[in-house]
Amino acid sequence: MLGRLICFVLFTAALAAQPLAVRGIHLSAPKTDEVSLAVKFIREALPKEGVNLLVLDFGYRYKFTRRPEVAEADGLSRDDVRQLVEACRAAGVRLIPEINLLGHQSWARSTAALLRAHPEFDETPGLYPNNEGIYCRSYCPLHPKVHEVVFDLIDELAEACEADAFHAGMDEVFLLGEDACPRCRGKSKAELFGQEVRTLRNHLAESKRALWIWGDRFLDGETTGIGKWEASLNDTAGALRLVPKDIVICDWHYEAAHPTASHFALEGFPVVSAPWRRASVALRQLDQIRAVKLSANPKVAGRMLGMLQTTWCGVGRFAKGYFGQDTTDTRVMEAVNCFRELFRELRRTP
């Protein structure tokens, strides 16, 4: 018995001492005139800091050829993306593209390209002129034609990025199962959310790609006390039990290090912790990951993949702040400083 205990302790200690599998950063895709700066940042800064993964949020800013009606006017070309792919390859960085799906189909008065091109996909058709009175629009996950379009967008962008995974966002989904939608009204929001996650995951699995999503809709905001932003108050939390457990959950918390990454790992999901602009929060999240990897059984410990620094700005703005070319944007510099402190600690110890 003592021998088994010693072996277990040594094994878990060795596991905890290994470098985290994910040491990532999340950025919005560059503007067309920022591609060269983005390439410089990827080639020079990311290896220096020890970054091995880049999630790049394109939204609809890509010149889609399969669905050209959805492409934003300022979208990147295939050649622009090729330069980013080559930079990532040279830097030893895994590139995962993102389009935020289901929710976040508008911002302020601007409706994003998918619903501008296909207003028939709107979850609340004809309501909220100029997007007033809502946070962001959603598309209807039960519209019979929506996935024909969405799958084309996912596939084309993933192929251009030579990606083995795709980030579908899916955070802060507030409009779901609305009475205004003839297909969704009266249906369980947890089942609707879970079905959309399964649909996206199953499609990606056909091309052997993994699905990454944000984790807030899987958390009960009332039970946890976290609230409606970093968790859910619109009854979607039950979807966690309705989706496959090979989905990578990005567990974002910005103001406090809520211990929810271990919750996802205990439920069977691979998980990364995602801070933003408070280094103290990021370092506490990292401490939690290390504590679980040290004390939990190897199956649970192995699901704690690492850290994903969010920035909520484009590569160009972040790179300028990082390189000291423009330090005037407070929010950007807070993210830059958080990134530096987090990755300094990641380099200091595994």
CB contact at 8 A, 269 and 245: yes
Q: Tokens 């994903």 map to which residue?
A: 308
pLDDT band (50, 70, 90) for residue 11: very low
Average pLDDT over residues 178-200: 97
Contact 5, 287 (CB under 8 A): no
Structure-block tokens of residue 167? 């980030």
Q: What is the CA radius of gyration of the chain?
A: 20
Contact 248, 211 (CB under 8 A): yes
Give the pTM. Answer: 0.94
Q: Judge whether residue 4 has pLDDT over 80.
A: no
Average pLDDT over residues 174-202: 98
Length of the chain (residues): 350
Beta-carbon count within 10 A of 130 CB: 10
Work out the average pLDDT over 218-236: 97
Q: What is the mean pLDDT of the chain?
A: 95
Question: Could you read off the pLDDT of 106-160 as tens digits, one per residue?
Answer: 999 999 999 999 999 999 999 999 999 999 999 999 999 999 999 999 999 999 9
* Nearest-angstrom CA–CA distance, 207 and 320: 36
Q: Which amino acid is at 126?
A: G
Closest CA relative to residue 34, chosen from 323, 325, 319 = 319
Of all residues in the chain, the percent with pLDDT exceeding 70 is 95
Query: In this predicted structure, what is the pLDDT of residue 9?
Result: 45
How many Å apart are CA 135 and CA 312, to the nearest integer?
17
Confidence grade of residue 19 (pLDDT, cut at 50, 70, 90): confident
Distances (CA, A) of 257 to 166, 201, 203: 26, 28, 33
Instruction: Read off the pLDDT of residues 162-185 as tens digits, 9 standing for 90 and up.
Output: 999 999 999 999 999 999 999 999
3-class DSSP assignment, residue 214: strand
Cα first-last separation, the chain: 30
Per-residue pLDDT at 17 = 54
> How large is the average pLDDT for residues 284-290?
98
